[in-house]
Amino acid sequence: MPHIVTDNCDGCRFTDCVSNCPVACFHGNDERLFIDPDVCIDCGACIPACPVKAIYDVVVMPKEFTRWIAINAEMVTQLPVISGKQVPKPAAEAQKLRLGF
How does DSSP assign 27-42, residue by residue?
Answer: EE-SS-EEE-TTT---
State which of positions 27-66 bind ligand SF4 (CB under 6 A).
32-33, 35, 40-46, 50, 52, 54-55
Between CA 2 and CA 29, with CA 62 as vertex, the angle to 5 degrees is: 55
Regarding 4 and contact with ligand SF4 (CB under 6 A), the answer is no
CB of 79 to ligand SF4, least distance (A): 13
CA torsion angle 26 13 98 43 (round to 10): 30
- Residue (30 or 64) nearer to ligand SF4, CB: 30
**What is the binding site for ligand SF4 (CB under 6 A)?**
3, 5, 8-9, 12-17, 20-21, 23, 25, 32-33, 35, 40-46, 50, 52, 54-55
